[in-house]
Structure 1
Amino acid sequence: MTMEVDANTLEKGGAASVMPSPASDDVARFRAAVIAKLTYAVGKNPAAASDRDWFLATAFATRDRIVDRWITSTRQTYSEGRKRVYYLSLEFLIGRLLFDALTNLELLDTVRHALGDLGVDLDRLRQVEPDAALGNGGLGRLAACFMDSMATLSIAAYGYGIRYDHGLFRQVIKNGWQQEYPEEWLSFGNPWEFERPEVFYDVGFGGSVEAVPLSNDRKKHVWHPGERVEAVAYDTPICGWRGRHVNTLRLWSARAADPLRLDAFNQGDHVGALADQVRAEAISKVLYPSDATPAGQELRLRQEYFFTCASLHDLMRRHIDSFGDVRSLPDKVAIQLNDTHPAIAVAELMRVLVDEHDLEWDEAWDITRRTISYTNHTLLPEALETWPVPLMERLLPRHMQIIYLLNAVHLGEVRAKFPDDDALLSSVSLIEEGGGRRVRMGNLAFLGSHSINGVAALHSELMKTTVFKDFYRLYPERMNNKTNGITFRRWLIEANPGLTRLLAETCGPGVLDDPTLLEKLVPMAEDRSLHERLAAVRRQNKVALARLIRDRMEIKVNPGALFDVQIKRIHEYKRQLLNILETIALYEAMRANPAKNWAPRVKIFSGKAAASYHQAKLIIKLANDVARVVNDDPTVKDLLKVVFLPNYNVSLAEAIIPAADLSEQISTAGMEASGTGNMKMALNGALTIGTLDGANVEIKEHVGDANIFIFGLTADEVEERRRTGIDEAGSIARSPHLGEVLDAVESGVFSPDERDRFRPLTDALRYHDYFLVTSDFDAYWDAQRAVDARWNKKDAWWTSSIINTANMAWFSSDRTISEYAKDIWDVPVKPVR
């Protein structure tokens, strides 16, 4: 197999294929298809077409190639009567789809040549496509990787979620502060989706429940909603690797059943006439609306029920059309709940089976439990959603009745086994009684599922001793682990074409299908010629990222410096604050001794804080204020730069990750469920600095202690510190650097216009350091100095880099999905090769 790569393509940062050179006939056919789409679908003359027009034409021509395979895959699923997997997730962070589709269809070089013949630059078109704003972070990106892997492994699957008009928000940094603006990703349409106006379902809210007698001892409950909203389907085909199979991502958009009150409009109340439409369509406007107000809480619950209800009715319709009897549901349907957001599915499926299909309660419950499974993504009790009982009773009255009955039966069974354990009853109840009665959605998801999995080995074990300790005591056989994975197609082939080509040449082209072939790198880990080639690829990626930083931030960084990267949602437990404090300590040390042989660094941060999360937004402000001071100080010159890149999304991650030298995974041990950024950067050859938390534990096992920088308290030690008392003052007093750093922050060195700006952050560290930043600071400082020492020994650094890449095969989402398919869903997979 001959492999070619265009040097100009790599210089621009574009993807380069390792596939055979395209046939001239294929190029000509695609070129003609693009011209036809430009003319008849976009309505433009080539001479007058903009980059956006060419992008749309190319996307439409590519989509046509997918549709043929999509229809074939769907027909095959129906004809074979295959069991389907339905993945319910509030987020699908799919990113840009053009290069994803072209890569999976093996069309990248074909399209590049076809467009080149027309004088169009494919890499320029790549920048035109907006990111689909359908997620926030790891949860949504995991769902996207899983959709890719389910298609790659030929699993018949649907993804179900919400088609947000504006997604999370577009992050803008003004004077160092995060500000939120609507994400306008749909402003120019979405060429990848198919609107299905004929596929819609009524979703009810409020109203009353009527008990209709059927016989002396049986009643039928009929829910009469006071409000109805229509859920309209939009389908996006998800193409697997090499285009073997195509699945469907079906997203729901909210539409008012009666969009205009004509009587009010004709009476002159033009705004009031649209009130019902505005209320209905608010459901699919934004992801994670603030829940700081009662209205915000209600909107979140409406969102969750809206997409779950529509999804269950859609899959039930499909099942009945294919198999006729709801009793075969567990044999032909697997419903996976991605976190607690769709947990209301347990009550909704019971309602559908009992109220609409007239099944007896016990039979319906057996079907529900055998059909549904639940993935937990957090050990934070506050992140396991709960809803006020009065809100649930008002918005979903029939579901509240079902939850009460489920709880009564459940607690009766527990009481029979453990008659004198009131604490156990309180812990496993679906209703939280203290401080206002609330429905515990995590408990509901657990009780209504036959399988409950964590997403990393440590996380799954901690679930058994923390958030689901008592449920594990009752149902130990239901709990299992499925360590997360990433799709190598996106995070290696597309994001890092230079490295991909080098790996294909070194390990053989089969590595594109079988990542275990990366292990061939291990015997070559100390090969200096390979080091040089890898360093050249990395530098190319760093030059591209440096250009992006210069263009967006007007900050010039040195591509020869160590690129130290922390990219993730901004949260106290992820401890961006620890990183910033160490940055300040390093800055002060460099200023005190600029002649020392320092390892030059570029500290790169990116991530969004929840709109109502004040501490997280203050951390962003501190990062930007520190960057301003450090970057303007001529003393440190190119020794240290600090960059906060705004509006983190998939496309920005694709630019940062291939350029990362050091991957920051420094959460408080026991608090990160898994992480997937750690896997992406390690795959691309970055070395990890981190705590023994989440999937870091398993990465350490695969790459070896010598090739990862582990520091800090373990999860057990964190629990012990919290139990016996955290000695913040002692940790600060014992540290050679931390006290000075805190004093500098508190004295206004980084906020001369407002000396006490960061007092909430430093007070938390001094008096209530729940996330143990002070306890881990010195260990983190020492680990960073070990990073410096390794960086200064280039052969040692590149040896470790190679070993990281070589041992990442296990972290493929194909492996993860294969485990789900075998252990939870009971569906067959077709291996990639």
Structure 2
Amino acid sequence: MFDNKETFKSIFQRNLVSKLGKPLEEATQEDVYHVLGSMIREYAGQDWATSNQGFKQRQDKQVYYFSLEFLIGRLLGNNLLNVNELELVRDSLADLGFSLEDVEEQEADAGLGNGGLGRLAACFLDSLASLGYAGHGCGIRYKYGLFEQKIINGNQVELPDNWLEKGNEWEVRRPDKKVEVKFWGRVETQEENGRYQFVTKDAESVVAVPYDVPIIGYGHPHVNTLRLWSAEPKRESSLDTPSNYYGYLDYSRSVESISEFLYPDDSQYEGKLLRLKQQYFMCSSGVQSALRTFNKLGLSYDRLPDKVAFHINDTHPTLVIPELMRILMDDQGYGWDEAWDITTRTVSYTNHTTLSEALEKWPVSMISKLLPRIYMIIEEINKRFCAMLLDRYPGDQERITHLAVIAHDQVRMAHLAIVGSHSVNGVAALHTEILKEREMAPFYALYPERFNNKTNGITHRRWLMHANPKLSHLITETIGNAWITEPGKLNELTTVSQDASFQEQFRAIKRGNKERLAAYILDHTGTAVNPDSIFDVQVKRLHGYKRQLLNILHVMHLYNRLKNDPTFDIVPRTFIFGAKAAPSYYFAKKIIKLINNVASTINQDKAVNDRLKVFFLENYSVSLAEKIIPAADVSEQISTAGKEASGTGNMKFMMNGALTIGTMDGANVEMAEQVGEDNMFIFGLRADEVLNYVHSGSYRPGELVSQDNRIREVVEQLIHPGAFCHREGEFWDIYDSLVAHGDEYFVLRDFAAYAEAHAAIDVAYRDIPDWTRKAVLNTAQSGIFSSDRTISEYATDIWGIEPVSGYWKG
């Protein structure tokens, strides 16, 4: 892109003048960001066009990855890294008086996702492009993200996340690629040439306009597309009367709401309806767009599965299946059997949960009214599927009802996704086994060939090379740079895990990252942090099964010990939390309040501050994660065994040399197999033990309260005014969940084992060389958890695609 620093500085200053009319001395940090972003986008534009033209000319099979979330984070630094200009631009900007890190802060985190689901999708897009696959994202261009989190008096307060306030430097609006999506109306049947035709009359049309974001592959000119759809009203020619005018305004507001908010509140009917609208809007737009590209190949739709793969990320995009059926039958004239064969060979599905409450269901009345033709197709799918079940299990009506796509006046989206696809994958070995043996066992019995595992991964380019550049450089100096394109080669670090010189450099980098995070915490909270303390981190979505509650109860216990025994000797510990609770998730918001109460008390108690501090960092995001993860010593991955499908935060911490304290859940199991349990801190119930408790009903948390003084003390502190409870019964809801309502997530059952694991951490950290050895081994064994490995497995086993012709790796 630039031959040298002088070339960059010359072109950059010329762009400042031509684009903004400003000389260098008048430029702000924001000006620098916008000009630099536009330069990268223009540079990538030629490769973007060339890539798309190549897909068409070679007739490459293309993957369309449908996801309601793409948590892509900031793109400036990542794109500079991928075009191999990060260091040159950083140094050049410094010569011009600007800090690249400060310039990156001018970019808003894209409000396109919430948690692991969306971040996984973003990592997958990076790997698809970097490995040279023709693979694109399909999502919604939300005007507002989930919310901006503020902590006021310890409580979460939600503010609008207006991430597009200053525009999006990376997107290109493509009005020429717009499509129409139709809602409501009625279906009329007519016979034509001996075939029934289904026509939807009086439908409400919505215009879907795509905004394309280039996804630049690492180290070579391969650029894929993240296509985000925005809902716009269809222009009306008849606005000559006031009634038409005001009717159009109502229609316009209704349409624009479709792409306004990520996850609108669905506690009421209107919110549920809006979510369903969003899902169909994304699915219909994406399918129509992909088929328009396919049409340019001039091939029969019989060849669609050879040239197109639709992948649905969780159940949100499941309406891809009936939408593809609708187009094949109503627009292309295929009969049911032919259309069904094409559809099932084209669509694949990833399941992301073992929680039954997270498996989407929609009321029949809602789908049938909003999407009448789509519902007719779903109804026919269910009818034919149930007929097949009846042949296989004659008289077993209970089994048929259990498996049906439609039952109890609800459409079950996970069932539709399994029935209508050729591949169903879990996202960690344990998760997939639970799906096959428990949650989806009847479907596994029907379709054993469809089920497979694809353990999640993370892009090491963002989470190691960009987030932790000094460690990245040390690795390259030590083992060469082959690991950048072949992350499995990180295992060569094993040979230096006990080398004193390497350990010293490794520790110095960790210390520098901790100092950087400590400066951020001081700046945002006003409280100083000791960078020599153990940074113990739990950052993830706030949910009962992720057990932030177990963590903070243990912190309360540590504080109690320090107060009761001033001689209690522990390595100084800084506990760091970051999480958003869904606005309607009352219990999760109470846990945030508890964490902040505990933090307030502990951080103001000078008697313990040399040994214990607690922070809840507000508005957790990708960019904040990039500051936190490289600084962590301990990674908290403590979900109730059997509840976490995989996790990806666990992999990011491992890659950056943090040691995991965790249950045998999700991908923790495979991490333990890779690095060895001796280099982690494993505790607690296993998934089969949790299941046995659930089935037997034998768990009695009240007995633990009466038997364990530590547990009794912290539980009573939830409801009696004192250090952590500021008014009588402030945390009755949490107390009741543990004692009166059966402790659903086995927080108290695992408390003792968790405390023992933390005691083991305290002992282990005192042996600095051995702790460093363990940390290095975690980094060394993390390469297998790169999303490059995951995407290669998807490409080979599910999508049937290969890197495009002429792709050069490196």
Shift of 1:831: 7.7
The farther-off stretch of 62-71 and 543-552 is 62-71
- 1:728-807 equivalences under 5 Å are 728-750=701-723, 753-767=726-740, 768-807=742-781
> Structure 1, residues 558-601: CA drift from partner, whole Å, max 9, x if none?
11000000000000000000001001001111112222321111
Change (3 A) 1:313 1:663: same
Letter in 1 for 2:655: L
Could you say which residue in structure 1 is the equivalent of 2:390?
415
Could you say which residue in structure 2 is the equivalent of 1:824?
798
Shift of 1:270: 8.3
Residue 316 of structure 1, aligned match among 291, 312, 325: 291
Contact 1:258 1:277 in 2 (8 A): no
> Structure 1, residues 619-670: CA drift from partner, whole Å, max 9, x if none?
1110001101111112212211010001111000000000000000000000
Residue 226 of structure 1, aligned match among 175, 179, 203: 203
Is 1:255 the counterpart of 2:219 in the alignment? Answer: no
Is 1:577 the counterpart of 2:574 in the alignment? Answer: no
Could you say which residue in structure 1 is the equivalent of 2:582?
610
Unaligned 5+ residue runs, structure 2? none
Could you say which residue in structure 2 is the equivalent of 1:40?
18
Shift of 1:329: 0.5
Shift of 1:75: 1.8
Quote the Cα distance in structure 2 between the aligned partners of 1:271 and 1:49: 45
SS of corresponding position for 1:180: strand
The farther-off stretch of 650-659 and 179-188 is 179-188
Could you say which residue in structure 2 is the equivalent of 1:340?
315
Residue 485 of structure 1, aligned match among 457, 471, 484: 457
SS of corresponding position for 2:457: coil
Quote the Cα distance in structure 1 between the aligned partners of 2:73 and 2:775: 27
Could you say which residue in structure 2 is the equivalent of 1:723?
695
Shift of 1:465: 2.3
Letter in 1 for 2:123: C
SS of corresponding position for 2:219: helix
> Structure 1, residues 499-552: CA drift from partner, whole Å, max 9, x if none?
111111111122222222221221222222222211111110000000101111
Shift of 1:272: 6.3
Quote the Cα distance in structure 2 between the aligned partners of 1:764 and 1:263: 60
> Structure 1, residues 53-103: CA drift from partner, whole Å, max 9, x if none?
111001111112211221221222111111001100000000000000000
Could you say which residue in structure 1 is the equivalent of 2:561?
589
Letter in 2 for 1:256: P
SS of corresponding position for 2:582: coil
Quote the Cα distance in structure 2 between the aligned partners of 1:323 and 1:612: 49
> Structure 1, residues 269-303: CA drift from partner, whole Å, max 9, x if none?
98765222111111111111111000000000000
Change (3 A) 1:225 1:592: farther
Letter in 1 for 2:229: W
Quote the Cα distance in structure 2 between the aligned partners of 1:73 and 1:522: 39
The farther-off stretch of 668-677 and 793-802 is 793-802
> Structure 1, residues 210-247: CA drift from partner, whole Å, max 9, x if none?
0011255x311112253111110100100111133110
SS of corresponding position for 2:743: coil
Quote the Cα distance in structure 2 between the aligned partners of 1:531 and 1:27: 34
Change (3 A) 1:711 1:50: same
Letter in 2 for 1:459: H
> Structure 1, residues 744-764: CA drift from partner, whole Å, max 9, x if none?
121122455422121001111
Contact 1:259 1:277 in 2 (8 A): no
> Structure 1, residues 341-381: CA drift from partner, whole Å, max 9, x if none?
00011111111101111101000000000000000001111
Could you say which residue in structure 1 is the equivalent of 2:149?
171
Could you say which residue in structure 2 is the equivalent of 1:274?
249
Letter in 2 for 1:241: Y
Is 1:692 the counterpart of 2:664 in the alignment? Answer: yes
Letter in 2 for 1:284: S
Letter in 2 for 1:786: A
Quote the Cα distance in structure 2 between the aligned partners of 1:749 and 1:571: 26
Contact 2:431 2:666 in 1 (8 A): yes
Quote the Cα distance in structure 2 between the aligned partners of 1:247 and 1:652: 26
Quote the Cα distance in structure 1 between the aligned partners of 2:263 and 2:809: 36
Shift of 1:134: 0.6
SS of corresponding position for 1:203: strand
Identity among equivalent pairs (%): 46
Shift of 1:700: 0.2
SS of corresponding position for 1:128: coil
Contact 1:91 1:161 in 2 (8 A): yes
Change (3 A) 1:530 1:117: closer
Shift of 1:27: 2.5
Residue 240 of structure 1, aligned match among 212, 217, 228: 217
Is 1:148 the counterpart of 2:120 in the alignment? Answer: no
- 1:181-192 equivalences under 5 Å are 181-192=159-170
Shift of 1:832: 3.5
SS of corresponding position for 1:65: helix
Could you say which residue in structure 2 is the equivalent of 1:16?
none
Contact 1:209 1:398 in 2 (8 A): yes
TM-score, L = length of structure 1:
0.95
Could you say which residue in structure 1 is the equivalent of 2:652?
680
Question: RMSD of the TM alignment (CA)?
Answer: 1.6
Could you say which residue in structure 2 is the equivalent of 1:647?
619
TM-score, L = length of structure 2:
0.97
Could you say which residue in structure 2 is the equivalent of 1:296?
271
Quote the Cα distance in structure 1 between the aligned partners of 2:721 and 2:451: 50
Could you say which residue in structure 2 is the equivalent of 1:565?
537
Contact 2:239 2:245 in 1 (8 A): no
Quote the Cα distance in structure 2 between the aligned partners of 1:505 and 1:736: 52
Letter in 1 for 2:415: N
Is 1:713 the counterpart of 2:685 in the alignment? Answer: yes
Change (3 A) 1:805 1:277: same
Could you say which residue in structure 2 is the equivalent of 1:74?
52
Residue 64 of structure 2, aligned match among 62, 86, 91: 86
Residue 501 of structure 1, aligned match among 446, 467, 473: 473
SS of corresponding position for 1:223: strand
Unaligned 5+ residue runs, structure 1? 1-21
Contact 1:605 1:644 in 2 (8 A): yes
Could you say which residue in structure 1 is the equivalent of 2:593?
621
Shift of 1:146: 0.3
**Matched positions, count:** 805
Residue 366 of structure 1, aligned match among 333, 341, 345: 341
Contact 1:42 1:56 in 2 (8 A): no
Quote the Cα distance in structure 2 between the aligned partners of 1:752 and 1:340: 40
Quote the Cα distance in structure 2 between the aligned partners of 1:760 and 1:159: 41
SS of corresponding position for 2:174: strand
Change (3 A) 1:117 1:486: same
Could you say which residue in structure 2 is the equivalent of 1:17?
none
Shift of 1:260: 9.9
Contact 2:561 2:568 in 1 (8 A): no
Quote the Cα distance in structure 2 between the aligned partners of 1:260 and 1:812: 53
Letter in 1 for 2:55: T
Letter in 1 for 2:355: L
Shift of 1:198: 1.5
Change (3 A) 1:55 1:261: farther
